[in-house]
């Protein structure tokens, strides 16, 4: 085996060393590199293409529901942050500050945005005058910086990350809550219909809400290592920000009223969830919905039939491209078929089409599924429709595997020992009665590093007489505990 071929393979085990395995997949599948500054990454074209696939879907859905894109400065004056004390207190340890411009000391510190409520809200106030201006919906695709002192994990944990953040203003609570749920449903949709990852919907406990929010809703995705990923959050902010930034409007009765606002965001943490959920010890596994190349056609020839095989492969590739599929025709002379197979498996191409002299002679194509290696020999006639059916099957396989992982890893516990033992042994989600006191969560977190990742949006008929599994007091919530990224 050559050095190039040896370097190509994944050497770490997903089951036994998931952290090292994950980092190796990200690097060898050419998704990202580490930047010279600690905590930052360089996103390579194949990694950025995955983000663009998510962005394209979400952006279209946003616009269908009345959202317009805008862009606000990366810097926020300190005085703007100070107008909303809870935002400062919530993010202050993570805020990066600019104090000098060129050779001159700035008169006022500028925060590098950790989120943009404090720079966007003043402009919502400026743009909203009448009830006719409502609802007002803006979104921006941008990066934010949070100076966390945690170990870098590409896409999961970096000081700078890409995301979208939507900000809206509404006449009343009902309209703002509808907005909050619309965005949460779109986040659920992007995970389940685009990334092939089932999620749980809920809300964060009171002590873990977005600073200044009335309610923070979340979608949570379970990773194969038993940890939860906060997949996206949608916040009903109530009138808190509107009061702080004077977002008011004149209603139909000529009375001035305070607006209700929301904010909602999904970051490239979704890419981390995508990679972690589906990939394996051969490398990256991608659903066809987001894969930069959905299909790779690999011609396999000997010198005596080279011309016929390549021509057949080119014609088949053209038919697939004409149908709108993203196809690579890998006719490289310098690489043998085995190397090509391994490389495309590493890069996560969902479907491989093998073309050899037998396929040419019989008017067929051999199709190989990336997730499990399943092979099928199909007729050349109608190949585009056949390939599309196989891609749908591949998506269904990925979703079914992730769904099975989720369903098998939601467990219940009725007391502290059972809660700790279940998380310690199995990971995953442990559903338990909870009194609503943060101290009970802290007790579990200190012992086993698990936290409440969500509570149901509604109690789903849980019996009121439950006792809190941790302290024994009357339970008011059902909490989902998990270790998380």
Residue 95 lies in a domain: yes
In a domain, 171, yes or no: yes
3-state SS assignment for residue 482 = strand
The enclosing domain of 269 has a CATH number of 3.30.930.10
User: Residue 212: pLDDT band by 50, 70, 90 thresholds?
Assistant: confident
| pLDDT tens readout for residues 125-154 | 999 999 999 999 999 999 999 998 778 899
- Residues contacting 152, CB < 8 A, separation 6+: 34, 38, 39, 40, 41, 158, 159
With 50 as the cut, is the pLDDT of residue 5 above it? no
Q: Do 207 and 300 have their domain in common?
A: no
Same domain (yes/no): 352, 419:
no
83: confidence class by pLDDT, cuts 50, 70, 90: confident
Confidence of residue 7 (pLDDT cuts 50, 70, 90): low
Do 158 and 245 fall into the same domain?
yes
Domain identity same for 421 and 383: no
Instruction: Please compute, for residue 319, the number of CA atoms within 13 A of its CA located in the half-sphere on the CB side.
Output: 18
- Buried b / exposed e across 44-77, counting CB within 10 Å, b at 16+? eebbbbbbebbbebbbebbeeeebeeeebebbbb
Question: Model confidence over 451-483: pLDDT tens digits?
Answer: 999 999 974 445 456 899 999 999 999 999 999
* In-domain check, residue 416: yes
Which helix H or strand E contains 230, and what residues bound it? strand 228-238
| pLDDT band, residue 1 (cuts 50/70/90) | very low
Crossing angle between the packed helical segments 383-408 and 269-278, to the nearest 10 degrees = 90
The reply to whether 288 falls in a domain is no
CA gap 277, 197 in Å, rounded: 8
Whether 62 contacts 56, CB under 8 Å: no
Between the CA of residue 381 and those of 2, 311, 365, what are the distances in Å?
39, 16, 10
- Read off the CATH number of the domain in which 332 is found: 3.40.50.800
Q: Residue 81 has what pLDDT? A: 83
Dihedral of the CA atoms 34, 40, 45, 46 (nearest 10)?
A: 70
Between the alpha carbon of residue 250 and those of residues 118, 126, 257, 443, the distances in Å are 23, 13, 6, 48
Domain boundary among 333, 358, 391: 391
C-alpha 178/C-alpha 209 separation (Å) is: 18
In angstroms, rounded to a whole number, what is the distance separating the alpha carbons of residues 390 and 226?
Answer: 30
Which of 391, 420, 448 is the C-terminal boundary of a domain? Answer: 391
Cα–Cα distances (Å) from 177 to 68, 160, 214, in that order, read 19, 30, 10
Q: Do both 191 and 328 map to the same domain?
A: no
**Residue 246 in domain:** yes
- Cis amide prior to 391 (ω within 30 degrees): no
In this prediction, residue 464 carries a pLDDT of 54
What is the C-alpha separation between 484 and 272, in angstroms, rounded?
13
pLDDT of 86 > 70? The answer is no
Say yes or no to pLDDT of 89 above 90.
no
Whether residue 328 sits in one domain with residue 259? no
Residue 369, pLDDT above cutoff 50: yes
Within-domain flag for 287: no
454 shares its domain with 374 = no
Range of the domain at 418: 410-482
Query: In terms of domains, do 309 and 415 share one?
Result: no
At residue 254, the 3 state secondary structure works out as coil
Instruction: For residue 418, give the CATH number of its domain.
Output: 3.30.110.30
Nearest to 275 by CA among 465, 27, 16, 3: 27
- Which pLDDT value is given to residue 461? 43
The residue whose two tokens read 């663009």 is 52
Interacting residues of 111 by C-beta distance below 8 A, sequence separation 6+: 75, 76, 77, 78, 81, 95, 96, 97, 98
Mean pLDDT of the chain: 94
pLDDT at 87: 54
Cα separation, 55 vs 324, whole angstroms: 19
Q: Is residue 301 part of a domain?
A: yes
Strand spans (E) along 2-159? 32-34, 41-43, 68-69, 75-77, 96-101, 104-112, 136-145
Which of 248, 278, 308 is the last residue before a domain boundary? 278
**How many other CB atoms are found less than 10 A from the CB of residue 471?**
15
Sequence-separated (6 or more) residues with CB below 8 Å from residue 345: 282, 283, 352, 370
Domain co-membership, 197 together with 118 = yes
Q: Is 39 helix (H, G, I), strand (E, B) or coil?
A: coil
Give residue 463's pLDDT. 47
Domain count, the chain: 3
Q: How far apart are CA 62 and CA 266, in angstroms?
A: 12
Token code pair at residue 316: 């088949």
**Would you say residue 4 has pLDDT above 50?**
no
- Tally the C-alpha atoms within 13 A of residue 108's C-alpha that lie toward its C-beta: 10
Predicted pLDDT at 462: 55
């Amino acid at each position: 085996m050559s050095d190039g071929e040896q370097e190509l393979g994944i050497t770490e085990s997903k089951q036994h060393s998931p952290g090292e395995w994950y980092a190796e997949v990200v690097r060898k599948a050419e998704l990202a590199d580490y930047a010279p500054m600690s905590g930052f990454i360089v996103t390579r074209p194949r990694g950025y293409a995955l983000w663009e696939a998510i962005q394209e879907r979400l952006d279209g859905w946003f616009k269908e529901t009345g959202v317009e894109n805008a862009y606000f400065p990366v810097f926020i004056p300190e005085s703007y942050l100070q107008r909303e004390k809870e935002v400062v207190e919530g993010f202050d340890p993570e805020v990066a500050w600019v104090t000098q411009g060129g050779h001159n000391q700035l008169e006022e510190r500028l925060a590098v945005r950790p989120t943009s409520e404090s720079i966007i809200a003043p402009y919502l106030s400026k743009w909203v005058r009448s009830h006719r201006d409502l609802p007002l919906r803006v979104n921006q695709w941008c990066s934010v910086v949070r100076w966390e002192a945690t170990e870098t994990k590409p896409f999961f944990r970096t000081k700078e990350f890409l995301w979208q953040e939507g900000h809206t203003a509404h006449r009343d609570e009902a309209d703002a809550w509808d907005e909050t749920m619309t965005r949460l449903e779109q986040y659920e949709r992007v995970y389940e219909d685009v990334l092939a990852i089932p999620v749980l919907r809920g809300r964060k406990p009171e002590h873990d809400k977005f600073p200044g929010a009335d309610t923070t809703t979340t979608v949570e995705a379970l990773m194969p290592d038993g940890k939860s990923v906060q997949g996206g959050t949608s916040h009903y902010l109530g009138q808190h920000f509107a009061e702080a930034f004077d977002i008011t409007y004149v209603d139909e009765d000529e009375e001035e009223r305070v607006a209700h606002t929301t904010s909602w965001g999904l970051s490239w943490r979704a890419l981390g969830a995508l990679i972690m959920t589906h990939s394996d010890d051969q490398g990256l596994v991608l659903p066809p919905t987001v894969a930069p190349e959905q299909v790779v056609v690999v011609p396999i020839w000997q010198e005596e039939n080279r011309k016929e095989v390549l021509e057949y492969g080119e014609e088949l590739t053209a038919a697939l491209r004409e149908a709108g599929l993203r196809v690579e025709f890998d006719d490289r002379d310098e690489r043998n078929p085995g190397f090509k197979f391994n490389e495309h498996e590493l890069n996560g191409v969902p479907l491989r089409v093998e073309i050899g002299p037998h396929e040419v002679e019989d008017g067929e194509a051999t199709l190989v599924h990336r997730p499990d290696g399943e092979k099928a020999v199909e007729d050349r006639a109608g190949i585009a429709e056949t390939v599309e059916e196989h891609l749908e099957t591949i998506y269904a396989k990925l979703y079914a595997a992730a769904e099975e992982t989720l369903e098998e890893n939601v467990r219940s516990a009725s007391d502290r020992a059972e809660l700790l033992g279940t998380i310690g042994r199995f990971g995953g989600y442990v559903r338990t009665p909870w009194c609503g006191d943060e101290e009970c969560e802290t007790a579990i977190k200190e012992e086993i590093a698990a936290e409440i990742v969500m509570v149901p949006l509604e109690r789903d008929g849980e019996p009121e007489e439950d006792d809190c599994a941790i302290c024994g007091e009357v339970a008011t919530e059902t909490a989902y505990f998990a270790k998380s990224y």
